[in-house]
């Protein structure tokens, strides 16, 4: 059995040009290929006008997982598709022998509707839209924040946030293949009364740690939408084994009156004792947390 403890946090350093330089950067999805760290990040215009808060997805590379050189333009942008005309958000990458699968959310401001979308490509600069991964419908509205991973039973799981009855909830779908088609199984993780995660839940990254434990670092919030990061472990079939009591990451007090949010996006097993957990703070700033594996 493993437990997890925060060691320290570090702000990601992004070398970028205009317009990315002046945008908020959040939802950093980082993964490692050989000796190179790659990242897709959501970028948003810092505007109070919702029609100007159009999100795009940018790509960057790093040698150390902390300092990234970013592209000048987005690799995924809003386009002519109605479902994503007002933004593309929250990328998740699956590497395959044929290239890349990128799950992300398309946003339609007019309809107040999100759809979980999929693009494929041999390279990250050659991604092509492949269709809707999950469609918003009654009971599972506005699916987003995909986490895609292969379980120990060899089935693929897609965990996703959805809206129901004024709450953000955490659902689970499964497939024989990383690109789907996906069958929604159930609501995966439920809110707990009188807890920091009593009102909203959302997906976070998952991996197998050095003790062969499958863990997801999920996101939870109270009725005031104060988001924190916790963890839950799973068995071979993706069922819950153990869940943290207290949050792993709580953002520091915001003296400027901004949003009170820490939101996990990706994770890398750095070595036998350490996980690098990438997350956003206040919906504006990407960070890396060093998380220690603790034997109990």
pLDDT of residue 265: 98
pLDDT of residue 32: 97
From residue 25, alpha-carbon distances to 36, 275, 281, 296 in Å are 21, 22, 10, 36
Q: Which residue has the tokens 């990242």?
A: 39
Query: pLDDT tens-digit profile of 137-160?
Result: 888 999 999 999 999 999 999 999
Report how far residue 144's alpha carbon sits from residue 89's, in angstroms, rounded to the nearest whole number. 8
Give the pLDDT mean for 28-35.
96
Confidence bin at 49 (pLDDT 50/70/90): confident
Local confidence band at 253 (pLDDT 50, 70, 90 cut-offs): confident
* pLDDT of 93 over the 60 cut: yes
Residue with tokens 């990328």: 91
Comparing CA positions, the residue from 146, 145, 94 lying closest to residue 124 is 94
| Pairing outcome for strands 219-221 and 227-229 | antiparallel
Residue 10 pLDDT exceeds 80: yes
pLDDT of residue 296: 66
Once rounded to an integer, what is the mean pLDDT over residues 19-34? 95
* pTM of this structure: 0.95
Say what the pLDDT of residue 257 is. Answer: 57
What is the chain's alpha carbon radius of gyration, rounded to the nearest angstrom? Answer: 18
Q: Which residues pair with 275 in a beta bridge?
A: 269, 291
Under 8 Å between Cβ of 87 and 80: no
* Domain ranges for the chain: 2-295
DSSP single-letter state for residue 251: P
Other CB atoms within 10 Å distance of the CB of residue 230: 24
% of the chain beyond a pLDDT of 90: 86
> Which residue in this structure is represented by tokens 């959310």?
105
Residue in the structure block whose two tokens are 């434990």: 213
- The superfamily CATH assigns to domain 2-295 is Glycosyl hydrolase domain; family 43 (2.115.10.20)
Tokens of 24: 């908020």
Q: In what order do the strands lie in the sheet with 206-208?
A: 206-208, 214-216, 232-234, 240-243
């Amino acid at each position: 059995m493993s437990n997890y403890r925060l060691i320290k946090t570090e702000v990601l350093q992004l070398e970028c040009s205009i317009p990315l330089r002046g945008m908020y950067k959040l939802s950093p999805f980082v993964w490692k290929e050989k000796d190179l760290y790659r990242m897709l990040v959501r970028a948003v215009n810092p505007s109070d006008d919702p029609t100007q808060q159009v999100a795009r997805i940018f790509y960057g590379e790093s040698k150390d997982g902390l300092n990234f050189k970013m592209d000048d333009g987005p690799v995924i942008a809003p386009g002519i598709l109605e479902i994503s005309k007002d933004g593309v958000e929250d990328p998740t990458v699956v590497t395959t022998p044929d290239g890349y699968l990128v799950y992300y959310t398309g946003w339609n401001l007019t309809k107040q509707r999100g759809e979980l979308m999929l693009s494929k490509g041999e390279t990250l600069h050659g991604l092509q839209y492949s269709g809707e991964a999950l469609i918003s419908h009654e009971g599972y509205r506005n699916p987003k924040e995909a986490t895609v991973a292969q379980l120990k039973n060899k089935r693929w799981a897609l965990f996703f946030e959805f809206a129901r009855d004024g709450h953000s909830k955490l659902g689970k779908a499964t497939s024989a293949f990383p690109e789907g088609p996906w069958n929604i199984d159930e609501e995966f993780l439920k809110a707990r009364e009188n807890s920091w995660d009593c009102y909203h839940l959302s997906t976070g990254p998952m991996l197998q740690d050095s003790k062969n434990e499958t863990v997801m670092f999920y996101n939870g919030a109270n009725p005031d939408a104060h988001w924190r990061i916790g963890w839950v472990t799973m068995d071979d079939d993706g069922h819950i084994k153990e869940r943290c009591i207290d949050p792993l990451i709580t953002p520091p007090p915001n003296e400027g009156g901004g949003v009170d949010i820490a939101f996990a996006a990706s994770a890398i097993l750095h070595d036998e004792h350490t996980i690098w957990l990438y997350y956003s703070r206040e919906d504006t700033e990407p960070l890396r947390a060093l998380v220690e594996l603790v034997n109990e």
